[in-house]
Structure 1
Amino acid sequence: MTVSLYPNFQILICDDDTTFLRSISFAIERYCGINNTVQCSDSRKVLEHLAEGNIRVVLLDLNMPHISGEELLPQIIELYPHISVIIISGLNQVTTAVQCIKLGAYDYHVKTEEPERLASGIFRVVQFQELGIENEAMRQQLLNNKTTLDPAFSKIISADSQMHSIFRYIESISKSKQPILVTGESGVGKELIARAIHETSQCAGELVCINVAGLDDNMFSDTLFGHRRGAFTGANQSRQGMIERASGGTLFLDEIGDLSLASQVKLLRLLQEGEYYPIGSDTPKKINSRVIAATHQDLEKKKEEHNFRNDLYYRLKIHHIEVPALRDRKSDISLLLEHFLTLAAEEFSKSCPTVSSELHFLLSNYDFPGNVRELRSMVYDAMSTCEVDSLPLNAFEKIIGGAKQSSLPRTFTAPLFQNLTTLPTLKQANNLLIEEALLRAEGKQSLAARILGISQPALSKRLKKREDE
C-alpha cells in the first residue's frame, strides 16, 4: 500500500539528540498527520539538505555541536527566504526567543512543551506555507493565462468562461488539504466538480462520496467514523468508517446543508482537531483525506436562522466554488445537447438524430430550473421515443410547457412597464411584442409564433393587418 505524504513539501528536523528527533517526528504525525519529514542529527549537513530537497519548514535546535542553530538561522533566512524556521530549545529564555524572532525565525518553542501543543504550533506553520503556495499558484495562473486544462475537466462539458475560471482555480488549489465548499443549484454538476478536484490533486487514495441528507446523528457517526465490534447491540464485527476508506484521498460530503446540528458539532471537531474516535473506541484516529462539502442550500441564510453553525461554515469555506446555473451559461446548452444525444443514442442503439434550429432556439430561451440534470432527462426521454432522423420538438415542448410556456428569460419576469409614467396602448404593445419576437427568432415566423403563444397563421394575419394599416 502506497503511503500518502503530507504536506506536499518536506519538513527538515535538525537536532543532535536522536531520541528527540524520533519523538518529535512521532508527535507531529500522530497529532497533525505530518509525515513528510527529513531528519538530520548533524548541523553541518543542514544547508546540504536544503539545497537538495523540497523543504519549506525547518525545525532547528538552538544548541548543537559544530554549528549552532543561532548561527544557521541567518544563513537559512538569507539563502532561502521562502523557508519558515522554527527554533526549538531546551531552555525557556525570553531574550533568546526575541533575538531569534528578530533574526527571522517564524516561531520559538521549548522542548519541554506538551507534545500536542508543540505539534499544533508546527502545524500552523505548515498551513501558513500551504496558503502561500496556493496564492502563488493562483497568481501564476492569472499571469500565464493558461489555456491548457487538466484532463480531469474533460468530463465537464463547457466552453463557458465562468466555468473555465473555476477549472483554473481548482488547479491552483488542488494540492492543498484545506476543505472546499462547492455550492450551486441542484443539477449543476457539483459532484463532477468534486471529482475534478480529486483527480487534479493526483492523490493516491480514492474519492469517497456520502450523501448526508437524511442521516440521523447516530447513522452519521457510524458512517463516517465506523465502529468497533461490540460497540452497540448488533455490532457483531468492526466496521471501517468512510474517513478511513478515504485515507490518502478525498471525502466528499454532499447535501451538507441538511446535516443536523448535533452532527455539525462532530464534523467541526473533525476539521479542527484532525482526528476522530470510531464508535466504542478510546483510541483516536487521524484523518488523512481532503474534505469537500457541497450543498444547493443558502448556508448564509441557514446561519442567520441558527440552523447551520457559523464556525463550521467558515471551516468548510476556506476555498469556495460557486457553480453557475445553466441559464447563466447558455452557450453550453448546444454542447451539452450534443453530448447527451450521443450518449443516449448509444444507450438506445439508435443513430444520432439531427437537431433543428427551432429546438436550439426553444432550449436557449428556457430557464432550466433543473439545470444540466434536467436537460439530460429531456434528451433521454426524447431519444427513447425518437424513430425519425430529426429530433422532434414535441418531447421537449411537453416538458417546457409547449406553446403556452413563456420562453422569455427571467430578466423579463418583472413588470415590463414599471418605469414608465404612461402606458402604451394595446395596439402599440401588440406591435412591440411582435417586433421583439421576430427579432429574437431572427425573422423566422414559426419561431416567433411559438414565443408569442399563437399559431403561425395567426401571426401572419397580424403582420398582414399591420401592413395594410
Structure 2
Amino acid sequence: MKLARNILLVDDEAAWLRTLANTLNRLVPEAQIDTCVDSRQVENRLNITDYALVLLDLTMPFHSGEELLAMIRSEHPNTRVIIVTGVNEVDTAVRCIKNGAYDYFIKTDAVEDLARTVRRALEVVGLERNYLKIKEHFLSRTLDQPQAFNNILTCEPQLLDQFRYLEAIAHSPEPLLISGQSGTGKSEFAKSSHQLCCPEGPFISVNLAGISDESFELKLFGQLKHHDDGQVTAQAGVLHHVNGGTLYLNEVGALSIASQLKLLDVIESRQYYPVGSERPYPVNCRIVASTQDDLLALNQQGLFRSDLLYRLRAHKIHLPPLAERSLDLAMLINHFIDQAAQEMELPPPQQPRDLASQLSEYRFPGNLHELKGMVFDAVSRSDGVQLNISPFMEAINEHRSSGERPQDTIVFPKVLPTLAQMNQALIDEAMSRTANNQTAAAQMLGISQSALSRRLKG
C-alpha cells in the first residue's frame, strides 16, 4: 500500500471540476489530484489506481453519486468518499453519511473548510492503511527489504521487531520519532527509514543542539532578500533541497519553544515561508526526528510543546542501550575489529572467546560509540594475533572504583517469595525482555532452551 495521497474528483461539470482541482492543489499541495467527468469511468479508474479519497457529485448522468458511493464502499473499503454537491437536502446528507460517506459538502461552502476535511480524511486513510500493513508485517515476521538495514548489526528480537515496524510505516506521511540514549544508533535507523521510503531522494541531517531561533529559521526555510535596486536574491533552505527525500532533525528536544512552533506549523500545514517571502512553498519530504531526552518530561516542565510532541509521536521507536543487547556484543566487537584493522592497515586480531561474557555486566554508558572506541584502542595495542583486552578491563575497573554497581540490586518484599514464585518471576521477566524468544531468554537465565521450554510447559 502506497502513501495515501491520491484523490479522484468526480463531477460532470468540467468547469467546476477544474476549479476544485486547482483549489485543492493550492490548499493541499501534498495531494495528487486526478479528475473524472464521466461517471461510467469511475469503477475502471478505481481498479487501475489505488485512490485514498474520492470526492463525488451526487447528480450526474449514467450513475448517480449515491450509486457510486455504494460501489466504492463495497468494492474498495480502504477508499474514503466525500460528497461535494449542489444538493442541499438534510435527508440526502444523512442518508449518504449512513451509507458510508466520510463527509458531505455543499458546493457553496467555504473551500478552506473542504480542504481541511480533505487533509483529515487523508490522515485517517493513512492511519488505517498503516495499521493494516503493520499487522500484516508482524504476522508474517519477514522483511520485504532487508537490504535497507544492512547498516545495522543485530540479532536482538526487540530490534528486529523495530525493523518490521519501520518497514510497515515506510510510506506514511506522518513524522517518525526515534528516541534512545546517545550512541544507540538513532541516525542509522533514520537512514534505514530513508532507504525504505524514498531512497532516490536526498537525506539531509540537521543537528538542532544549540541552534538559535534565527539560525533554525534560515537553515530550514531559506531567505529572500529584496535590494534597493529591485533585485531579489534567494538563499534556499534545507526544505527546498530535501524535496522528495528525508529531513532528519537530530536532537529535537533542544529546540526552543519559538522554534518548536515553527516546526509544528510545517508539519501541520505541509508548507513553509522563506524569510522575507509572503508566498508559501509546499513541503515534500519525510520528517524523521530523534532525541536522547525524555520529551514527555520536558513537556511536563513546560519546555516542550504538547501539540508538537503528539505530532512527532505519530510513529515512534525507542532504541535500547547497548547494555540490553547482550546477544549482539560479540558480533559488534568483531565488526569494529575488522573496521579498525582496515583503517589502521593492521592484521585483524582474534577476539577472545570469553570477552563478550566478561563485558555482560558492564553498562556501556557511551553505548556503541564507547564500544567502538574501546575496540579501536584494543586493536592498536594488539600483537596481530589476539585482541588486547586492556581497554575493556580498564573501563570496567574505572566504573567499579567510581562506585558504579555492576548490576541492579534485587529488592525483596517484607514477606519473602517462595523459590517456585521466584523461578516463575525470573522466567516471566526473561520472556518479556526478549519478546518471547525462548533461545534468548534461556541464554539470559543461564539454562538450555529445552530446560526453559519444559518449565514453560510445566
Which TM bucket (shorter chain)?
A: 0.7 to 0.9
Q: What is aligned with 2:189?
A: 193
* Aligned residue in 1 for 2:279: 283
What is the aligned partner in structure 2 of residue 425 from structure 1? none
Determine if contact 2:4/2:51 at 8 Å carries over to the other structure: no
* Matched letter for residue 198 of structure 1: H
Aligned partner of 1:155 among 135, 151, 159: 151
Q: Is the 8 A contact 1:15 1:64 kept in 2?
A: yes
Quote how far apart the aligned CAs of 1:419 are: 6.6
- 1:403 deviation in Å? 9.9
Which shows bigger deviation, 286-295 or 28-37?
Answer: 28-37
* Alignment equivalent of 2:125, drawn from 126, 129, 132: 129
Q: 1:217 aligns with which of 197, 213, 234?
A: 213
**Mapping for residues 360-399 of structure 1, pairs under 5 Å:** 360-399=356-395
Q: Flag structure 2 segments of 5+ consecutive residues without an equivalent.
A: 417-443, 447-458
1:90 to 2:86 alignment: yes
Q: Secondary structure at the match of 1:229?
A: strand
Q: Which residue of 2 aligns with 1:44?
A: 40
Aligned residues: 414
2:408 pairs with 398, 406, 411, which one?
Answer: 411
Q: Structure 1 length normalisation: TM-score?
A: 0.82
Tell me which of 294, 315, 337 is aligned to 2:333: 337
- The 8 Å contact of residues 340 and 379 in structure 2, kept in 1 or not, is answered as yes
Unaligned regions of 5+ residues in structure 1, if any? 1-5, 422-439, 443-469
Partner Cα distance (2:212, 2:318) in 1: 27
Contact 1:276/1:284 (8 A) holds in 2: yes
Partner of 1:434: none
C-alpha separation in 2, matches of 1:247 and 1:47: 33
* 8 Å contact from structure 1 (residues 31, 286) kept in 2: no
Farther off after superposition, 323-332 or 195-204: 195-204
* Letter aligned with residue 407 of structure 2: R
- Give 2:304's aligned residue: 308
Give me the TM-score of the superposition, normalised by structure 2: 0.84
Structure 1 residue matching 2:52: 3-state secondary structure: strand
Q: 1:314 to 1:231 in 2, by over 3 A?
A: farther
Partner Cα separation in structure 2 for residue 168 and residue 385 of structure 1: 40
Aligned residues of 2:321 and 2:367 also touching (Cα < 8 A): yes
Aligned pairs (5 A) from 1:231-380:
237-380=233-376
1: CA distance, partners of 2:31 / 2:143: 35
- Change in Cα spacing, 1:174 to 1:221, as seen in structure 2 (3 Å) is same
Paired residue type of 1:297: D
> Corresponding residue for 1:456?
none
| Counterpart position of 1:69 | 65
CA distance in 1: counterparts of 2:10 and 2:400, whole angstroms: 76
- Does the Cα contact within 8 Å between 1:195 and 1:207 map onto a contact in 2? yes
Rounded to whole Å, the distance in 1 between the matches of 2:144 and 2:281 is 40
Q: Mean alpha-carbon deviation: is it higher for 254-263 or for 363-372?
A: 363-372
Farther-moved stretch of structure 1 (345-354 vs 65-74)? 65-74
Structure 1 pair 390/403, CA: closer, same or farther in 2 (3 Å)? Answer: farther
Contact 2:400-2:406 at 8 Å conserved across structures: no
Distance 1:167 1:113 in 2: 45
Alpha carbons of structure 1 residues 231 and 382: separation in structure 2 relative to 1, 3 Å: farther
Alignment pair present for 1:18 and 2:9: no
Q: Secondary structure at the match of 1:76?
A: helix
- In the alignment, which residue of structure 2 is the partner of 1:99? 95
Q: Distance in 1 between matches of 2:78 and 2:384?
A: 65
* Percent of aligned positions that are identical: 36
Contact 2:381 2:388 in 1 (8 A): no
Larger Cα Rg: Structure 1 or Structure 2?
A: 1
2:143 and 2:167 in contact (8 A); partners too: no
Deviations 1:20-64 (A, max 9, x none): 222222222322223433211111111121222222321111122
Deviation, 1:68, is 2.1
Whether 1:228 aligns to 2:209 is no
- Does the aligned pair in 2 maintain the 1:141–1:168 contact within 8 Å? yes
Following TM superposition, by how much is the alpha carbon of 1:70 offset from its aligned partner in structure 2, in angstroms?
2.5
SS, match of residue 279 in structure 1? coil
